[in-house]
Amino acid sequence: MMNKKFSALTMLYVANVLDGGRTVEECPAVLQADIQSILASAKNEDGAE
């Protein structure tokens, strides 16, 4: 479970990546680490079920 708070902008980019609208590399560089962290966390949670 994620305990860190992320900005709404970061979450919008995450949703866009998940929908296939863009890749992590196409997102702003300052947000890429957070986006990758969220995506990894979501992948781990999906695998745990």
Q: Which residues contact 1 (CB under 8 A, 6 or more apart)?
A: 41, 45
1-49 pLDDT, tens digit each: 567 899 999 999 999 999 999 999 999 999 999 999 999 998 888 776 5
Asked whether residue 32 is domain-assigned, the answer is yes
Number of domains in the chain: 1
Of 47, 43, 48, nearest to 14 (Cα)? Answer: 43
Measured CA to CA in angstroms, residue 12 lies from 23, 37, 47, 48, 49 at distances of 13, 14, 23, 24, 25
Asked whether residue 1 is domain-assigned, the answer is no
Residue 29 pLDDT:
97
Asked whether residue 23 is domain-assigned, the answer is yes
